[in-house]
Chains A and B, each alone.
Chain A
Amino acid sequence: MVDNSLALSSIARESTVGAEPLIALRGVTKAFPNVLANDNVDLDIYAGEVHGLLGENGAGKSTLVKILYGFYQADSGQILLNGEPVSIRSPHDARDLRIGMLFQEFTLIPAFSVTENIALFLPDLKAVLDIKGIYHRINALSERYNLQVNPQAMVSQLSIGEQQKVEILKLLLSDARILILDEPTRVLAPHEVKALFRVLDSLRKDGYAIILITHKIKEVLECADRITVLRGGRVAGSLPRSKASEDKLVSLMFEKELSILQISQKSALDESVPPLLELRGVETRGEGAETSLKAIDLKIYPGEIVGVAGVSGNGQKELGDVVLGLVKCVRGTKFLFGQDYTNRSIQEVRKSGVSFVPENPLTMAAVPFMTVLENMALTDARRYARLGGLAMDWQAVKTDVEDTLEKLGYSFSLYVPARSLSGGNLQRMVIVREMSHNPHLIIASYLTRGLDVQSAIAARQALIRARESGAGVLLISEDLEELFTLSDRLIVLYGGKIVGTFKPEETNIYDVGHLMTGSEVQRVSKY
């Protein structure tokens, strides 16, 4: 395999001279019902380059690379490999052409060791496993590309960053020379992102072609050689790194001027009033893949946004659920609005004025085959029930929904089944529902996931308005920038524990990133 990468580097030298792309897309078009995902896209990827594929959510990045990896077939257009047209009908075809893809969701088997996971993916896996040989190949590659992991470790014991390394090793060992990385930085802490970019750099030097998908401008400026910007399914522009600047890329990504988030002056917190939410020494017992919370002490005062930072799976979901009442406290007490709610039911918590935006709108908040309007009434059906429940006042639901829709500047149809909405619209639906009726406490997990930039700004603005009117917000997010912009106070969760509490202006992204990944706690402020 090491030979193989050396062979690649010779290709790289040739191709930079001859300037023939290793793989090229010509006029690729792909339509889905109601949306044209890719419209006549041309894309050239050269050996020995990191090609940044930039665009906001829904710009067609994922569809494009899924066509390249054989998940979808293009409606029209061509894929050229070394100038020869090829047909990629399945991921298997793609792997035969030495195209590999790193997915957002990892495909590792937790109960297997690193070596076993990698062996499973090898194209030339023999009937009798040569574990030792694979082991040596892994070591050689991880040495070469700074991808250090212990090949004997169980995947279940690896951190997210290490698992990503295993996924990359998997691709390298299976002979891929074109690597597609679908938002690889999404799950990483800032210093892990830096490490990943170093890995990409050394891969580039050995002639690999790398497609890096992201919606973060800073990242492409940091590590890409060339940048292609997609907007609404079309190529808005393609330019070498040397000609790219942040302003230029922003103007390519967004057609319209973006409205700017209005952040009101954060007022001094009045800690003499009782907190809206207080957790005292709360512990939970997680089953299976869940995380157990340990000794959580948390207060949210009126007019305060408390941000929760952490790599996903470190107790954020459980923290939200314990406030909602879905997860029971095995120890400790929970107070809402000054009253003990430790053992109250979800409907009592909801009724007291708590809103909840869960991390996955489709599985955790919406009933797919019901209409959007029916979904809107679900959190507070009693409010809209007439004649003691014998009838529902759908007109009132509609009025309330339209009211909130207008405030947020969203629009979607109310009379279609929720399952026919796109991911972004589903998220908007949940946000609209949870922001109606002036909640006193909002638990928002990954509030802006799947939203376009303009909708995300509107959603954040709604949180700020809620804060201004005296509500409290628990904002769980993996977007550190979002947390730093919105939060009045920031806590970091690691392994179910609060490992740091800060005011955003007293810390920086790197310190928080280190805490998120369980590195040495260097500085924990007095809060």
Chain B
Amino acid sequence: MSQNIDTPFRTSLLISTLWVVVRYLIIFLVAFVLFGVILLIAGKDPVLAIKDTFSSTLRSTYGFSEVIVKMIPLIFAAIAVALPSRVGLINVGGEGQLYMGAWLATWGALTFTPLPPWVLLPLMMLLGMIGGSLWAFIPAFLRARGLVNETITTLLMNYVAPSVVTFFIYGPWRSPGNALYPQTVDFVPAARLPTFWGTRVHLGLVIALVLLVWYWYVMTYTRWGLEIRAIGGNPQAACRNGIPLTTYIIVVMCLGGALAGLAGMSEISGLHGRLRPGFSPGFGYLGFLISWLSGGNPIGILVMSFVIALITSGGDILQINQGLPFAVVNILLAITLFVVLARPSFLKEKKA
């Protein structure tokens, strides 16, 4: 083992990057073919359906902007999973943390109505992050103490958070003006994130992209990133090398929760302008899927968020044009996940 190892390793890095691209192209190809088969069984024209999906989303400004809108919470939710995964934590609780972030941000929006936007919006963001990280703190603390595995607690707490939100919407925060749809009153304009270009794309996009860069930078260049990767790579060695494991577990998990909380805040403030039950169609879970598909790679998160946003937006179109239920999108997502999980051995990452 001498210096001559250097060169082959670097060339193999380039090849492996190309390989990743090819691999995912194949995965999606297989998924779409399987999806087409299901459409055929349902008596629809798969080629037309898939063509519709792409043309409506990619070939009109409105359709494209809607994809971007869907992408925003997905990026947040994906980093919320990817960051803890670097220390080896499995955060399935993005959905719950997202709800709690939205919940606490709503409290801020409804309470501090007289504040100007440049105070109120940062405050709401802070509250959203606090809400999400508090929800993540409970599993993180239990895990750090060696009591309960975080995968189970985060997952179970996902069922609690929407109920908390629903309680407040049906109870103290219910808008008096609307008897049919239980929801809060509309936020004051100061509590709304600005939107761009006359579309529904809001400032959350910029925040999400900044955080994606932040995530990449911290992981790659900082001492904390180094120590986080060390824990993820070999917790026992990291511990013996004097890296504070429990501190990192709690802090990183709470940061993940804060990011999911921001997703919730940006959804209600940027998009809905009020809190309503079921405002998230499972963004937290999709974030988990994205983080998993991209292996925590920032570029991967960006690309995968776009693809998943595209597929979910396409679902609306299929519903309208082909008379298919929205659930077919879930079928397509499930097939994608299935192909990834059951990927044939030639698609698997090569181990050095």
Contacts and interface: CB of A to CB of B under 8 A. Distances in A.
Contact of B233 (A345, A347, A369): A369
B1 A389 contact: no
8 contacts: A347-B243, A363-B237, A365-B237, A365-B241, A367-B234, A369-B233, A415-B9, A421-B1
B252 to A, nearest CB: 15
A324 interface: yes
Contacts of A326: 239-240
| Size band of the interface chain A makes with B | 35 or more
Question: When A and B form their complex, which 8 residue pairs have the shortest distance between CB atoms, in order from nearest?
Answer: A350-B242, A367-B233, A385-B223, A347-B242, A389-B223, A367-B234, A379-B241, A378-B241
B190 to A, nearest CB: 34
A291 to B, nearest CB: 18
Interface string B233-259: 110111111111000000000000000
B226 A378 contact: yes
Interface residues of B, number: 26
A25 to B, nearest CB: 27
Interface of B: 1-3, 5-6, 9, 221-224, 226-227, 229-230, 233-234, 236-244, 352
A356 interface: yes
Contacts of B237: 363-367, 378
Given A363-B234, A379-B241, A382-B223, 18 more contacts: A326-B239, A326-B240, A346-B239, A346-B240, A346-B242, A350-B242, A368-B233, A369-B233, A378-B226, A378-B238, A381-B243, A392-B223, A392-B226, A413-B2, A413-B6, A416-B1, A417-B352, A420-B9
A416 B8 CA distance: 10
B96 to A, nearest CB: 31
Interface of B is mostly: helix
A391 B240 contact: no
B223 A378 contact: no
A381 B236 contact: no
Interface of A: 34, 324, 326, 345-347, 349-351, 356, 358, 363-370, 374, 377-382, 384-385, 389-392, 411-413, 415-417, 419-422, 425
Contacts of B226: 374, 377-378, 381, 392
Contacts of A378: 226-227, 230, 237-238, 241, 243
A392 B230 CA distance: 15
Contact of A415 (B6, B223, B238, B243): B6
A378 B228 CA distance: 10
A465 to B, nearest CB: 23
B17 to A, nearest CB: 16
A351 B352 contact: no
Given A350-B242, A413-B6, A34 B234 contact: no
Nearest to B233: A367
B222 A390 contact: yes
A76 B5 CA distance: 26
A34 B238 CA distance: 29
A160 B258 CA distance: 52
Nearest to B352: A420
Contacts of A415: 6, 9
